[in-house]
A = this chain, B = another copy of it.
Amino acid sequence: MDEHTIARHLEDHGVRYTAARRAVVEALGSADGPRSVSELVAGLAVPQSSVYRTLAVLAAAGVVATHHGPDGVARFELAEWISGHHHHLVCTECGAVRDLVLTPEEEEHLGAVVAGAAGRARVSVEGHTLEIVHRCEECR
């Protein structure tokens, strides 16, 4: 969300906040869900190879997160500390992904389920995502 916070975060990680990186961050910030590289390239006067490299840099710095939908192509979004914790609504057909924010109560229930299951499986959780699968309007 806040350009300033991101700029400082990158600076702290020794990563320059260049024009190309700014453009990618802005594109991701104004999207309503994860975006694929081809979608980004289509809307962004930045060449494909640079988009890939930029995303890799931003991911390493903890600014973007990667997601793989049912069509297998990688989609990128801002990390949750920037965009807020959320989940995904995925179309089985075309793979399009929309963000989904739960209510605090829903999130609390989900958290309890995750904690319980992870405890039983003896793993320490790093995160969780709920994917709700449906078929989007365009695909029916």
**Docked-complex contact B113 and A134, CB < 8 angstroms:** no
Docked complex: A61-102 residues within 8 A CB-CB of B: 66, 68-70, 72, 74, 87, 89, 92, 98, 100, 102
Docked complex: A103-125 residues within 8 A CB-CB of B: 103, 106, 109-110, 112-114, 116-118, 121, 123-125
**Docked-complex contact A102 and B117, CB < 8 angstroms:** yes
Q: How far is the CA of A2 from the CA of B17 in the complex (A)?
A: 56
Of B70, B100, B133, B135, the residue contacting A121 (CB under 8 A) is B100
**Docked-complex contact A132 and B106, CB < 8 angstroms:** no
Which of A70, A74, A117 is the most central at the interface, judged by chain B CB atoms within 10 Å of its CB?
A: A117
The verdict on A128 contacting chain B, using a C-beta distance below 8 Å, is: yes
**Docked-complex contact A113 and B92, CB < 8 angstroms:** no
Q: How far is the CA of A54 from the CA of B70 in the complex (A)?
A: 18
Given the complex, which residues of B lie within 8 Å of A132, measured CB to CB?
Answer: 114, 117-118, 121, 123, 125, 127-128
Docked complex: A46-66 residues within 8 A CB-CB of B: 66
Contacts from A to B (Cβ < 8 Å):
66, 68-70, 72, 74, 87, 89, 92, 98, 100, 102-103, 106, 109-110, 112-114, 116-118, 121, 123-136
Known pairs A89-B121, A127-B133 / 6 extra A-B pairs, C-beta < 8 Å: A68-B69, A68-B72, A102-B113, A117-B132, A118-B134, A128-B131
